[in-house]
Amino acid sequence: MKITMYLKPSAVIEELKASTKEAVLEELASVLPLAGRNDDWEKMVKVLMAREKLGSTGIGDGIAIPHGKLRGLDHLMIAFGRSKKGVDYNAMDGKPVYLFFLLMAPEDSPGQHLKVLARISRLLKDETIRKKLIEAKSTEELYRVIAEKDEES
């Protein structure tokens, strides 16, 4: 299961403008295909914030993988964003987060959801990949770094 099956180049944000957890979630959610349907977008942000209240999805090493499930989705969706300044995201290691993968899954897809979360985690464990993502000069380069690593494993 490849990340690029669900992450489209149009859902990659080179430099997030947001500086708070909720604003990051809103900005990332805004690039997903259903963002044009305002009621679904609002529900998505509420689901993501509810998940964050259970415990931060900031997993350390400058990474956060906010995720949730939404009724009415027919397929999994991923957005990626980078913040060169870093965001205080209440990450497990107490450090700022620079790299964000947002994952929204259909309500009835536990297996698929967990497999993609695990794949993203494995990808970001590689310090070289994290460095390449931080240093990428364009949206296209960000996507290419993810896609090339995705093809390797």
- In eight-state DSSP terms, residue 84 is E
Q: Which domains does the chain have, with CATH numbers?
A: 3-152 (3.40.930.10)
Looking at the DSSP assignment, which residues form a beta bridge with residue 47?
A: none
Q: Which of 62, 63, 67, 68 is catalytic?
A: 67
Q: Which residue, chain included where needed, has tokens 């044009």? A: 36
Known catalytic membership, residue 67: yes
φ, ψ (nearest 5 deg) of residue 73: -75, 145
Per-residue pLDDT of 45-91, as tens digits, reads 999 999 999 999 999 999 999 999 988 888 899 999 999 999 999 99
Can you give the pTM of this predicted structure?
A: 0.93
